[in-house]
Amino acid sequence: MSKTYFTSEHEWIDVEGEIGTVGITDYAQHALGDVVFVELPALGKTVAKGTETAVVESVKAASEVFSPASGEIVATNDAIVSQPGLVNEACESTAWFFKLRLSNPAELNGLMDRPAYEDFVKGLE
């Protein structure tokens, strides 16, 4: 069974075992507008929690995607590179950015669950 966590920078990570799948939230894709470019990390790259790991650009702005946890990149979603608009259509499901093998699962303890994230977003409006 997987569990999804959220960051205050509007990334989500869905964790199943030692693998976390990372993407941006619906709030983030709405704020960005039409996504026109995505840059993903290299396979095998080691990333630390909170570091810039991917880039997403829209007609309005460019934004970094930060890793919600530390680990090694084990997969990237090439579909969103060739079709960046998928991020607007399915940002919290099939338009994930990368998967990583968690090196320190305890880092997830500082992240929000969905109800806490939804409350956080309400406070931004």
Regions in the chain scoring below 70 on pLDDT: none
Domain 3-105 has CATH 1.10.3720.10: no
Looking at residue 69, what is its pLDDT? 98
Looking at residue 2, what is its pLDDT? 82
pTM above 0.85, yes or no: yes
Looking at residue 125, what is its pLDDT? 77
DSSP collapsed to 3 states, the chain = CCEEEECCCCEEEEEECCEEEEEECHHHHHHHCCEEEEECCCCCCEECCCCEEEEEEECCCEEEEECCCCEEEEEECHHHHHCCCHHHHHCCCCCCCEEEEECCHHHHHHCECHHHHHHHHHCCC
